[in-house]
Structure 1
């Protein structure tokens, strides 16, 4: 196939050019290399403390201990880099998905591909709302205009006309349609030469991140203060400044909360990756934390609640009404031929809109080989739908004819207004439209007009002398899963609000089928006539809004937000972008949505499916719940580390922990938090609870109290057992091995009750994931190795444990499960008592 043919590039040639010339990217890599990640690890406080401890061991002449500690440094660095790499891979996949999509012609077929796969010579099809993926020359244009402000700074749209019209990568199509042959991609585009880059997905400032930063800062201050205090006490009580500094470093390593920000980023990134598998693209990671707070879900009707598979179901013309769903080919009665003829003429020649496709399908089966189809006519002028007039018109020219033909379609009341119908006929049209709408049909009015070819075209549609033709009712079946999903939202305390441009009766009928309850229906005209106070009262009670214009969606979102609601909202058009951006969570339709809507949104549905929105909300709730449990666990396991570093110094006992022991514990804590808790399915009733309040912190006083209580239980058990063994004359090396084993085992056992906030023994085992089993198993095997094998136990200062000592360790560590559960019950009762007061 000739690459220059209008059918577009041959797919094989396109694939070869992609290999030869590379992807359509600007050449600015935002992906961090392994070296960059390693450099970040080297600057971490934990790494610096480990290196400092190793240097002290060398100064003390203990090169063997220093080398072992260095080995742990390498292991921790490798695990951290792998963890970062995993997170980076997740974000990179999201960046690829969130890049602009392109509609191209290849081999005569229309394909939707990622913008990065566009190659030089591709033929692009552009429409209103598209982001132009590459520089190109116009082949066809119909009222095409682009916003080039990102290149020129000029806010006015730039009309694009033949011949020699050009479009540029990164600009936005604000009106019209066009066909473009790509002349430059990536760094060779105008955008690439200027040196700008595409938007990226990143973790911006958010309440959750700010809360985490505050908690981290407080713990760092406490850690530094205790480190200085312990070093001073050690030097005063025991002497030896190097040993004192080493003890202080050990305590600082035990307190530093370096896991907290890492855990948060890993949780959000992996949640976004899991949502992408469910066909929900997260463009802003902060949206995941907000999802769990969603209290109002505003959805449009077509394509979200319904299947977006329009079919003409009913026709009304010349005083007759016809149900078309049982028609056989070529059986449409003559009185309805003109109605379908003008419905097609008022539609695009190659439509993308499901309604217009339905008109073309019906005409293809019923009007074939009749005088009502006009492939030889030329579309000379198009009058667009506008917020002021919900109708559009096409002016057609047949060469040699004295009159042009004008076809209009739109909201029945708008088309009736164009026709200047008398009041009696308007009432009749309104009654017919209402009867169709009560069946859940989307109703459009159709009109026709003539215009002398030699005269100038009017500027507005009202200047044509339109005649009424009839009504068309289109069926768009409700998605079968919608009623159950709406019921699930109701159980989850999420209010579902339908906002549509359809007739109020159509909206009410679909809402009834979906299970959306409402105190009446409010229209766009109603909204326009309301002041702020009246609108606030109406949005509190009404869940169905019909005949709503795009700019009125913004008013509805702001009214809901003013009442303290957390609003998620769907949209697909250019004019939906302000409302999507204003909503707490903007949700763009990936299939029928425009690039403008996708870029304004926080989430993009790769499949326009209502159920995937609710799945995303569930994922947001689950991620937040798991993150909270991980944080409670992390704080709890640091308490006994601090106790074992501090108490032996205060009571004159041999030290148990050294930097090497802290490094081993870090290898236990990080996988437990990042792998075990992130993989948890969460409580079964997550979607039976009301949305989380915006004022609710990640860690409340009750959560911190639970962490301190559970950590205190482990501390008491470990220190008490250690002191008791020493008192009985057990060697310090064996006593410390038992104490350390109980510490690790206690932390492992604590994972079980920490997986859920619910009380009861059953929750300890229900839903235990394979990841939990692997982490717990690996922890116990590693503990067994360092306390039983002389080669590994010697660096830790341990003597291999006898069977009786192992049994004692297992008994003490396992028995902690009972007080762990008791502490959850106690804190839960205290919290419930505080709420009741």
Structure 2
């Protein structure tokens, strides 16, 4: 029997209404347009310092320098705005993916669409676990109950009936199904009136973001102090407050780590885009930093390790077992035809249950064009499965007023009970079922009967004279890539824990096939009898848990967290939401998962594929490693700027760098420290290393020391070259140009040296990304233009040098690559002592 669905709106009507009334959104997402991005960039201290330097040049009567600085402000702002806009687009695409889904009837057919595309008068189909996307009136309801606590504060679910009852956007369907006609969307909904206050709420910073913020504040305080010190020192030694202030501004610009927040958001946003290519949606960017720390991965069996697509694996009739894998043709032995025939008759006509779908597929393959399929028979009565009777029956008639054919299937123990088998026959059937279950198969018994027509059919299944036919074993096959993915996790030091509601025998067989080692299988009944310490002891030796309730899943996650593990957890149902939210990384199923599970999770698997989790962890580790190297580079590249601002003053030399040079260097540093390192594939194999510790900092004192050591070497070489040139009678503008060449080439070398923490020329020079190649080529091309073309060189107070001098300066900068490698080796050897 099927229910006729209303036709709903047409696609054309829906498109017109969406265009006229707008999307079904609350308008509380904090998207930024180009103007707001530009305004926020202008508030950055770096740009305020540039504007201040320009004002000082105007005061000193040098409008050309002021205009050039303003030009740089415009260029840097343009690049920063475009980069941030690219990041915003990445985030917008992720928002579109993460939009709640809705099952809507369009042109008479159910269609799954994004919740933002729902329009007024749409007909929506609701099922258990759905979050209601819009306000609406109930048209049909079947045992429907909705959790409205987010609106009313009442925890009890509210029963809904098709009597004009309303359901509201944002509430959760906790039981039953229903059809609604949408009456209000977006801001016009009940929650929309509340939602306007969300504009003022910002997300809590992730630990990594907090660490970056602390590092930025510390460096800013140091920069301010050094700026004041250099200004006073310059005025004391040389006089001239304006010149002293310019020297202080130059130093402050060199110290200010304004790239750090940019690096953070670029890495996380673009990292989320890269993870999305593996069909993993990142709902919370902060989860990316935790991926690389995952030490325990708790996974469900059905649909995650397996296909969630049952298939007939074995048939048993009269004690004879037929393995489907042994069938070499489309011919099924005759003695098994009746078993399959009645298994289909005991199933729905258009089944949604995976087991019933397996029966239909198998019958289509092996019983087509036989008398054992009955598409013209009439279903006259159904007896549903119940907790008291784990079996279901269908009554069929070929013609009205004729005896009915009764087809029954269910748990083997229920079937032998309904068939009233003798104790000996009952023991034999259950023993055969036990043997099939030991192979990890889901086992069902099948029975048949004939019943005469009457004014009323029996009320219970026990009233039929059922005859036992046989057993069917079904398998939910393991995904082909699961064993390799689990082996990769184990090599990476990630422990796999399988938590399932299936029978312990089925769980043990699947775990063994997948490669999850466990000396025992712990059942939900055993877990219920354990206290916290016993549960912790059990978790140390057990990796497979069966017949587990959702509450016990939560207890397992909390126990693992209490023991210091970083836990990732998969789930799909309404009751999985607490465990998903409690885990460090909740991972929801995108296809079969409920909206509640997806909203509680940090990641969503769009294809419900286990190997995608492993790919996301691998990518998360690479993102963290690249982010660390980017920050080491940023620290290293700022050290020469600090040194070249301080040393000439201390040594009594003419100033080497001015604000205009810092602005030019910023043009080179920003792309390098963000997009170049973000695009790196990384060195070594991230999944052959153990997870990093939970509280391991992004940049430790060792990393800061390495960056400072590298940068100090650059400072000494550049100042020495500058001092030597001046001492040998070289013009100041020529010496400045040669020093700048050495500085920029050394900075380029820092990119190559810090691409990987591993030592060696091979790791330094090979595998550079296309983005990295373009940035390095662009940097060297810009350097050549501003130091070799006279009009451009004069803008930066350079005088073009001879080819020999240019090549010598280039060689000094390139030679520092050797020093960078020695610094890495020295730092590593020092740690081993």
TM over 0.5: yes
Aligned to 1:623: 623
Structure 1 window deviating more from structure 2 (333-342 vs 110-119): it is 333-342
**Per-residue Cα deviation, 1:200-258 (whole angstroms, up to 9, x for no partner):** 99863222122212211211111111111101101111111111111111111100111
Aligned 1:569-718 pairs, distance under 5 A: 569-718=569-718
2: CA distance, partners of 1:126 / 1:186: 18
Aligned to 1:289: 289
TM-superposed CA distance for 1:538, in Å, is: 1.9
TM-superposed CA distance for 1:14, in Å, is: 2.9
Aligned to 2:720: 720
Aligned to 2:212: 212
TM-superposed CA distance for 1:660, in Å, is: 0.8
Could you say what the CA RMSD is over the residues aligned between the two structures, in angstroms? Answer: 3.6
Contact 2:342 2:408 in 1 (8 A): no
Aligned to 1:154: 154
Aligned to 2:101: 101
TM-superposed CA distance for 1:761, in Å, is: 1.2
Aligned to 2:61: 61
Aligned 1:426-505 pairs, distance under 5 A: 431-444=431-444, 472-505=472-505
1: CA distance, partners of 2:341 / 2:198: 50
Contact 2:618 2:687 in 1 (8 A): yes
Pick aligned residue for 1:334 from 331, 338, 347: 338
TM-superposed CA distance for 1:61, in Å, is: 1.0
Aligned to 2:279: 279
**Per-residue Cα deviation, 1:537-565 (whole angstroms, up to 9, x for no partner):** 22112222222222211121122222211
2: CA distance, partners of 1:188 / 1:171: 15
1:567 aligns with 2:567: yes
Aligned to 2:540: 540
TM-superposed CA distance for 1:190, in Å, is: 2.9
Q: 1:201 to 1:190 in 2, by over 3 A?
A: closer
Contact 2:446 2:469 in 1 (8 A): yes
Q: 1:335 to 1:608 in 2, by over 3 A?
A: closer
Structure 2 gaps of 5+ residues are: none
**Per-residue Cα deviation, 1:314-341 (whole angstroms, up to 9, x for no partner):** 3557867565675759965435655554
Structure 1 window deviating more from structure 2 (482-491 vs 180-189): it is 180-189
2: CA distance, partners of 1:533 / 1:826: 46
TM-superposed CA distance for 1:70, in Å, is: 0.5
Aligned to 1:117: 117
2: CA distance, partners of 1:87 / 1:628: 20
For these two proteins, the number of residue pairs brought into alignment is: 816
Q: 1:334 to 1:669 in 2, by over 3 A?
A: same
TM-superposed CA distance for 1:448, in Å, is: 11
Aligned to 2:132: 132
Aligned 1:759-770 pairs, distance under 5 A: 759-770=759-770
Aligned 1:294-443 pairs, distance under 5 A: 294-315=294-315, 323=323, 332-334=336-338, 337-342=341-346, 344=347, 351-359=351-359, 361=361, 370=374, 375-377=379-381, 431-443=431-443
Q: 1:408 to 1:218 in 2, by over 3 A?
A: farther
- TM-score under structure 2 normalisation? 0.90
Structure 1 window deviating more from structure 2 (565-574 vs 792-801): it is 792-801
Structure 1 window deviating more from structure 2 (161-170 vs 492-501): it is 161-170
1: CA distance, partners of 2:293 / 2:282: 16
Contact 1:8 1:106 in 2 (8 A): yes
2: CA distance, partners of 1:530 / 1:230: 67
2: CA distance, partners of 1:71 / 1:805: 30
Equivalent position SS for 2:552: helix
Equivalent position SS for 1:692: coil
1:226 aligns with 2:203: no
2: CA distance, partners of 1:199 / 1:609: 36
- TM-score under structure 1 normalisation? 0.89
Structure 1 gaps of 5+ residues are: none
Aligned to 2:755: 755
Aligned to 2:12: 12
Equivalent position SS for 1:57: helix
Equivalent position SS for 1:126: strand
**Per-residue Cα deviation, 1:87-141 (whole angstroms, up to 9, x for no partner):** 1111111111111011223334332221112233333221111111122233322
Aligned to 1:25: 25
TM-superposed CA distance for 1:781, in Å, is: 1.1
TM-superposed CA distance for 1:356, in Å, is: 4.0
TM-superposed CA distance for 1:197, in Å, is: 8.3
Equivalent position SS for 1:17: helix
1: CA distance, partners of 2:419 / 2:661: 86
2: CA distance, partners of 1:448 / 1:147: 42
Structure 1 window deviating more from structure 2 (679-688 vs 175-184): it is 175-184
Contact 1:223 1:255 in 2 (8 A): yes
Q: 1:549 to 1:529 in 2, by over 3 A?
A: same
Q: 1:634 to 1:158 in 2, by over 3 A?
A: same
**Per-residue Cα deviation, 1:734-771 (whole angstroms, up to 9, x for no partner):** 11111111111110111111000111111112211111
Equivalent position SS for 2:27: coil
TM-superposed CA distance for 1:796, in Å, is: 1.5
TM-superposed CA distance for 1:629, in Å, is: 0.2
TM-superposed CA distance for 1:504, in Å, is: 1.7
Aligned to 1:531: 531
Aligned to 1:732: 732
Equivalent position SS for 2:312: strand
Equivalent position SS for 1:705: helix
Structure 1 window deviating more from structure 2 (415-424 vs 48-57): it is 415-424
1:173 aligns with 2:173: yes
**Per-residue Cα deviation, 1:145-198 (whole angstroms, up to 9, x for no partner):** 111222222222111212323322211111111222333322333333444589
1: CA distance, partners of 2:694 / 2:470: 51
Equivalent position SS for 1:816: helix
Q: 1:362 to 1:685 in 2, by over 3 A?
A: closer
Equivalent position SS for 1:522: strand
**Per-residue Cα deviation, 1:705-751 (whole angstroms, up to 9, x for no partner):** 11011001100100111111111111111111111111111101111
Contact 1:443 1:473 in 2 (8 A): yes
Q: 1:422 to 1:172 in 2, by over 3 A?
A: farther
Contact 1:91 1:201 in 2 (8 A): no
Q: 1:420 to 1:30 in 2, by over 3 A?
A: farther
Q: 1:205 to 1:195 in 2, by over 3 A?
A: closer
Aligned to 1:778: 778
**Per-residue Cα deviation, 1:298-353 (whole angstroms, up to 9, x for no partner):** 111121111222123335578675656757599654356555544x26xxx76544
**Per-residue Cα deviation, 1:563-620 (whole angstroms, up to 9, x for no partner):** 2111111111111111111111110010110001100111000111111100000110
Aligned to 1:255: 255
Contact 2:405 2:448 in 1 (8 A): yes
Q: 1:424 to 1:235 in 2, by over 3 A?
A: farther
Structure 1 window deviating more from structure 2 (89-98 vs 428-437): it is 428-437
1: CA distance, partners of 2:657 / 2:487: 55
2: CA distance, partners of 1:570 / 1:546: 15
1: CA distance, partners of 2:285 / 2:832: 33
1: CA distance, partners of 2:436 / 2:758: 51
Q: 1:390 to 1:727 in 2, by over 3 A?
A: farther
2: CA distance, partners of 1:417 / 1:698: 63
